[in-house]
Every structure is written in C-alpha cells, then in structure tokens.
Chain A
C-alpha cells in the first residue's frame, strides 16, 4: 500500500500545517475555513493510513526518512499568501488526481482507494475553490497583496514538479496530469493579474525527493512537535 501511505502522508502533513493556523487567521471566517480544510485532509489521511495498517503507528512512530509526502505540503505556512499558494498548487493537483482515481478501473485491489477518492474529490473541489478565490483577491487586491501573492507562487514553484512523478500502485498516470494542472493554475494566475513562475519546478537536488523520504529541514521539527507526546508514553491509549 505504498500509494495509500504516500497520499495519506500528503494529507496528514498538510493538515498538521493548517492546524497551526488555528486562532491566527486574518478573519474569523478563515479560522473556520482553514480548520475545515485541515479536518477534511485529516479525515483523508486517517482513511488512507488505516488502509496500510494502524493510523497512529504510521503517524506517530515513523521517523522523517520514512515519510513519503511530497515536499510541497511540508513547507512552513509563511504568510497567508504562502499558505494560499500552497493550497492552490496542492488542491488543484489533488482534484485532478482524485477525479482520475475515482473512475480508475484496475485489476489490482483498488476498491478502497477508489471509494476514498469518490469522497475526497468533493472535499478538494471546495478546497480548490477556497484557494482560487483567495488567489484572486490577493493577486488583484492591493499592490502589497499582489506582491506577496506573486512572491508566494514563486517561492513554492520549485516544489510542484514532484507532484507529477509516477507513483507505484496508483492507477493514475501522474505525469499526464501535469498539463491540465499547468493549464488550471495558469488560468487562475492570469485572472488574478499575476504571472506564472518561470523557474525550474524541481531543484536538481530535490528530484522527487519527498516520495523517497528525503525532506526539507523544517519537516523534522514539525514531526518532533506532532509526535512527542505519543512517543513519551509508549503503548498508551488515548
């Protein structure tokens, strides 16, 4: 179930990042919205990780090198624009991927993944809409918000290439999603009066590294916080 672990880790790690926003959002409505998205993602993570065994064992007792999430989702929240850019990139990817997965017919045992995808695709459509609306408002808002949104899109761009690496056990042609993803992002970016980042979408050293368990530096610290209590009481139930 390497695919379930990889997709589950994506959702878990992003839920954890969004959970850091609680009580810090720019307006109350965003405290609600970000928590809502985090909860959806956490739900996806729990289903996926359970397919591969015990969800808590996977979440709390693996170390950094064993996590298979893409580096995009582990990126720190930064300012609100960074969080929105990360959401835009990732939700657009998830929507394309889960749409494919929901309809994928495979001779392999994919029942669980397809059922999850059918539910998740509705959630991620909402997540994407939320990210799109904010990209438009920030991009086409004030000069300051425009600049911040552009900076965020640029800064996170290098982590997007990894999304389209082929994944073993996933009946979705991920490399083929790259074009529709670029088109979808490009359309929003243009409407938001922003420009598409033009740097490399994968730095040479990070060639798809998250899926191989090679992460960025802040990730270890995030895991330390997430896991410390569980690890301090081996075998306890909560």
Chain B
C-alpha cells in the first residue's frame, strides 16, 4: 500500500518488456511467470473451451458404444472415448495452472458461460458417423492443434503434444473405419457417403469464422498462442482431405471444390455462416441435449462426490 503508483507502473512495464521479449524469443511462458491479465484471460477462455470440447465430444461417440457392430470396433471406440476423458483431464489441469479451478470451469460450462466446439452439436445418426468424426472432426482438430504444440504457454503446449499423438491415432482409425464401409456392401458405402455429406461442412466450421471476422485472432497471433489464421488452417485441411476422399472412394458435398493451379490449393464453396452462428448461439441440432446430459451427469453424481469428500475428511492422514 505504500508503493507509489509510479513505481508500480515502472515495475509493470519492466515485467511486460520481459514478457514480450520471452514471447519474441520463442521461450515458453510458465505458470509462475508474470503475464498480462489479458493473455491469462485469453488462455483460460481458449483452454477451458478446449477441455469442455473433449468432454462434450464424448457424447456423440459414446452414443454408439453399445451398438458398435463388431467387438473390435467396440473396443476401439471405448478406448477413444476414454482417451477423450483423459484429454479433458489434462486440459483442465493445464488450465488450473492459470489460477482457476476445475469446478469453476465446469460450472461455467454447465451454465453456458463458456463454450465448447460447435461440431459436437451435430447428431451421430449412423455407425458411419463414428468414422466421419474420426476422419474429419479429429482431422480438423489435429490441423488446429499441431501448431498449438508450439504455443507460447508451456503447460498448454505440452498438453497438446501428448493429445496430438493420441488424436492422430484416432484419426487413422476413423479413416480405416470409413474405408471398410466404403469398400463393403452397397448399403455400407451409402452409409459412409451420407455421413461424410453431413459432417463435411460442420468440420470446416471448426476452424472458426473467416479471418476478417475473427475477433481474437490478431492478438493471439502476436502472443504466439495461435500460429496460423483460421482460413489458413481451413485451407490446409481441405487440401489434405480432398485426396484422402478420393482414396476412400467417397465424394465431398461441394460442387465448387476444384484444384486451383495458380494457388496450388483447392478452391471450395461458401460456408453457411448463418448456420454456424445459430449453432454457436445454442440453436444447433443437439445443443440442448448435450448440455442437459452433461448437467444431469454432474447432478446425479453430486452425492458420490459428497461421499468421497466426507470419506476423505474422516480418514484424513489416517487409516488407509
């Protein structure tokens, strides 16, 4: 309280200079380092949203665990959903290094004050959707997340390294699932095509709004939280997917999709941003269902968590 404001300001600007220098030098910012409040807030928002996406993202796939058509596929799917819960845990832990608790973050998810990826508001209607999610949704996630392995915030970057390895594995499994369907019976092929038709555009939306409308982008790039713009990553994803779709023997539902010799990239059609905005506002096909299920699981589990705390309190430092 005795410190003169001028001294505080001087100290603050010295800290800021050190922070900027560290970011410029590609050093990692660690939890005990000074960081601008806005940097902290941006990371909390992004990392929490990322953690929430893993947790909500369990639902569309878990929807098929009990119905998986072979025991091998059932085991793969169970392992995947288990990994997602694990990713959620790493990411909540990484977010906690910024000074917020998991309970607080879950509370924000449950009350709609923090978001999760728009993609998980679409329903899984057939078994092929599990493959399409693996190929397209995990594929888009990896395209987004690989650059995050070099993010300026250390705990986030390290979580991403671990997560990306597992995600790549899931993606290959999803692709292989679709390939099996595509080369299977006529009904299976049709099922695979229908799934790709329904998941293609929502997957492109996972990269976020176009660059000119992306509010957080410039600052995040300056802070080296983000390394590439939304549109850049989206283009990279399209360029990867088109030849993969050819090998699959499936088409992508975009009549404007064609190779552009000049750009050395695929041109693609317009994204329905109205739909994207609707889903973000909570009006997608499954928004209500996803959040209700999450809330229900949390409420139904309250007595279990209370029991665990009560037991821990009774046996603290003791019996076991």
- Total residue contacts A-B, CB cutoff 8 A: 145
Q: Which residues of B contact A12 (CB under 8 A)?
A: 71
A230 CA / B188 CA spacing, docked (Å): 12
Beta-carbon nearest neighbor of A59 in chain B? B71
Neighbouring A residues of B73 by C-beta, 8 Å: 238
Residues of chain A with a CB closer than 8 A to B257's CB: none
A55 B71 Cβ-Cβ under 8 A: yes
Whether the Cβ atoms of A141 and B307 lie closer than 8 Å is yes
Nearest-neighbor residue (CB-CB) of A235 within chain B: B185
Bound CA–CA A27/B88 (angstroms): 11
Q: What 0/1 readout, one digit per residue, does chain A (12-54) give for beta carbons within 8 Å of chain B?
A: 1000100110111111111110011011001101100100000
| Residue A138 at the chain B interface, CB threshold 8 Å | yes
A164 within 8 A of B: no
Q: Which of B181, B302, B306 contacts A141 (CB 8 A)?
A: B306
Q: Are B71 and A42 in contact (CB under 8 A)?
A: yes
Does A122 sit within 8 A of B, measured CB to CB?
Answer: no
Task: Return A143 CB to nearest CB of chain B, in Å.
Answer: 9
Asked if B208 is an interface residue, CB under 8 A from chain A, the answer is no
Q: If the complex has contacts A32-B82, A59-B71, A137-B307, are A238 and B180 also in contact, measured as CB distance less than 8 A?
A: yes
A218 within 8 A of partner (CB): no
Instruction: Report whether A39 and B78 are in contact in the complex, using a CB–CB cutoff of 8 Å.
Output: yes
Q: Given the known inter-chain contacts A28-B85, A145-B306, please indicate yes or no for A237 contacting B184, CB distance below 8 A.
A: yes
- A238 and B55 CA atoms in complex are apart in Å by 27
Most buried by A among B59, B71, B311: B71
User: Is there a chain B Cβ closer than 8 Å to A140's Cβ?
Assistant: yes
Cα A105 to Cα B70 with chains together (Å): 34
Quick check: B66 and A46 within 8 Å, CB to CB? Answer: no
CA distance A142 to B311 in the complex (A): 8
Interface size class, chain B: 35 or more
* Residues B53-81 near A (CB distance < 8 A): 55, 58-59, 62, 65-75, 78-79, 81
Residue-wise, chain A 119-152 has the 8 Å CB interface mask toward B (1 for contact) of 0000000000000000011101110110010000
> Could you tell me if B78 and A32 are in contact, using CB atoms closer than 8 angstroms?
no
- A26 touching B301, Cβ below 8 Å: yes
Task: Check if B59 sits within 8 Å of A23, measured CB to CB.
Answer: yes
What separation, in Å, do the CA atoms of A173 and B306 have in the docked complex? 41
A55, B74: Cα distance in complex, Å: 12
**A residues near B72, Cβ cutoff 8 Å:** 46, 238
Task: List residues of chain B with CB within 8 A of the CB of A36.
Answer: 82
- Are A32 and B85 in contact (CB-based, < 8 A)? yes
A236 within 8 Å of B by Cβ?
A: yes
Q: Smallest CB-CB separation from A17: which chain B residue?
A: B66
Residues of B within 8 A of A (CB): 55, 58-59, 62, 65-75, 78-79, 81-82, 85-86, 88-89, 92, 127, 177, 180-181, 184-185, 187-188, 293, 296-298, 300-312, 314-315, 320
Contacts A/B (CB < 8 Å), 17 sampled: A16-B66, A22-B78, A23-B62, A25-B297, A26-B304, A27-B304, A28-B55, A35-B78, A35-B82, A60-B69, A141-B307, A142-B303, A142-B307, A229-B69, A229-B127, A236-B188, A238-B73
- A22-B58, A142-B307, A229-B67 given; 14 more Cβ-contact pairs under 8 Å: A19-B66, A28-B55, A28-B92, A39-B75, A46-B71, A80-B300, A80-B301, A140-B314, A140-B315, A144-B307, A233-B187, A233-B188, A237-B180, A237-B184
